[in-house]
Amino acid sequence: MLPNTGKLAGCTVFITGASRGIGKAIALKAAKDGANIVIAAKTTQAHPKLPGTIYTAAEEIEAAGGKALPCIVDVRDEQQISNAVEKAVEKFGGIDVLVNNASAISLTNTLETPTKRVDLMMSVNTRGTYLTSKACIPHLKKSKIAHILNLSPPLNLNPLWFKQHCAYTIAKYGMSMCVLGMAEEFKGEIAVNALWPKTGAGTQLKEEQQPPSKPPSGAVKETFKIVKASLNEDLVKATQAVYQFELSGEDGGTWFLDLKNKGGNAGYGEPSDQADVVMNMSTDDFVKMFSGKLKPTMAFMSGKLKIKGNMALAIKLEKLMTQMQAKL
């Protein structure tokens, strides 16, 4: 096998929450360059609904061309962070890049967010990012390419980003403030930046600049027709939820998506079982959402989509939409 000669070849990248999702995707991309990856995450046993552990991630990283060091790390535990940093330095000789990806989320309003969940988000997002950075900085200072990258949003103080999920925004903005403060504190020694998936302010601005357009006549009905044709028993078994949509505008009214009973069902009217999730939005935004032109997370954060009920099942629907969009 030819040696990897990518930009990160031979560099050591310490990534929190790298057992799945964006963290693992970053790890695999760096591994293809030939980087050493420290997988600092707490998942040691596969979750039935969320596949991936630090060990399976390590196997994938090695297969992609990198070297892996799986470390059991809950970023709320300062000692676990310190132990992982020590192991990384011992195995690879230093740390060149830190990616603060570990994060807890609850897109719930003030009265619906339990104190335990508030504490979790503050401890993992803000405090965890701060402590992991603090532990890595002495080693990053010795690197010629020292970088800290936080997965956090631009600091936008528009109340829009606070009103639906105040605690979550505070916790994520804490990560962004770490970028702001540490970039200035370690200027000339360590580059400190943030990366945020494309559901932020820029996307909203683009949407707001476009003139509002009404969906074609029967667009909602046609969307549900396609959705219904996509249903199967495996999908129902994997989802186990009933969704109700209260839509305003042309073709509006009450619509449902039953992914709990038999082979599933979808159409106009109320579901036969009580809905686990009720979503309120305009028909225009509904059609955009199911066709991939408007991300559900973005719609929720900007107030275009209001959700009542089980938030975990609402997030499941977002993944389901991604699968369906090829047919829409």
Distance, in Å, from the CA atom of 296 to the CA atom of 286, rounded to the nearest integer, reads 9
Cβ distance 246 to 308 under 8 Å?
A: no
- Give residue limits of the domains in the chain: 12-194, 219-326
Mean pLDDT of the chain: 87
Cβ distance 236 to 260 under 8 Å?
A: yes
Pairing of strands 277-282, 241-248: parallel
Distance, in Å, from the CA atom of 70 to the CA atom of 6, rounded to the nearest integer, reads 22
Superfamily of the domain at 219-326: SCP2 sterol-binding domain (3.30.1050.10)
Distance, in Å, from the CA atom of 143 to the CA atom of 11, rounded to the nearest integer, reads 9
130 part of the active site: no
List per-residue pLDDT tens for the chain, 328 residues long. Answer: 445 567 899 999 999 999 988 999 999 999 999 999 999 999 888 777 677 899 999 999 999 999 999 999 999 999 999 999 999 999 999 999 999 999 999 989 999 999 999 999 999 999 999 999 999 999 999 999 999 999 999 998 888 889 999 999 999 999 999 999 999 999 999 999 999 976 533 333 233 333 334 434 478 888 888 888 888 888 888 889 999 999 988 778 899 999 998 889 998 888 888 999 999 999 888 888 888 888 887 888 788 889 888 888 888 887 777 766 655 5
Assessment of whether the complete model's pTM goes beyond 0.85: no
Q: Which of 270, 306, 312 is nearest to 285 (CA)?
A: 306
Catalytic-role residue among 168, 173, 243, 268: 168
Q: Which CATH number fits the domain 12-194, given the four candidates 1.10.10.10, 3.90.1150.10, 3.40.50.720, 3.90.110.10?
A: 3.40.50.720
Q: Which of 99, 83, 82 is nearest to 35 (CA)?
A: 99
